[in-house]
């Protein structure tokens, strides 16, 4: 059983997302991670929620945060970035917690390289949002709040 805060959403971001705005702009857009944090925080606030928004390039730290979110948050939005396609540890962390997780990707991973088509996160997530750029975060916040309000 979670000791979650009923109005707290963790938004966790994996490797290289700190480079948004300058990294492969044709794929990821010109919006920075700080811009996305502001967008997410504003959207959550309008829906009566708070965000704990984080980014790491370290797999173990991301796993720790997922576990922490399972104890502290009502739900998690997870852009595990490359770890989506490589990390059984991230999969196991998501599987081990009892709060809903929305998997998120800025790009449409199914329109990209074959190795990006497989996700270790999808089968243990409540849903997946991909291909909507920075707006995907606002969509994920809305989807997660809807799930939480339905009691999922």
Distance CA 26, CA 24 (A): 5
CA-CA distance, 108 to 76, in Å (whole number)? Answer: 20
Q: How far is CA 42 from CA 4, 15, 74, 83, 144, in A?
A: 21, 24, 17, 27, 15
Active-site residue list: 28, 105
- The Cβ of residue 24 has, within 10 Å, a number of other Cβ atoms equal to 11
**How far is residue 14's CA from residue 54's CA, in Å, rounded to a whole number?**
9
């Amino acid at each position: 059983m979670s000791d979650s805060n009923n109005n707290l959403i963790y938004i966790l971001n994996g490797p290289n997302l700190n480079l948004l705005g300058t990294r492969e702009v044709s794929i990821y857009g010109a919006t920075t991670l700080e811009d996305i944090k502001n967008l997410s925080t504003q959207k959550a606030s309008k829906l009566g929620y708070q965000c704990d928004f984080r980014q790491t390039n370290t797999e173990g730290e991301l796993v720790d945060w997922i576990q922490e979110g399972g104890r502290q948050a009502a739900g998690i939005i997870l852009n595990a970035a490359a770890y989506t396609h490589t990390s059984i540890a991230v999969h196991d962390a998501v599987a081990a917690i009892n709060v809903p997780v929305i998997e998120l990707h800025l790009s449409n991973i199914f329109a990209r390289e074959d190795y990006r088509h497989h996700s270790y996160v999808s089968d243990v997530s409540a849903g997946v949002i991909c291909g909507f750029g920075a707006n995907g975060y606002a969509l994920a916040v809305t989807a997660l709040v809807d799930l939480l309000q339905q009691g999922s």
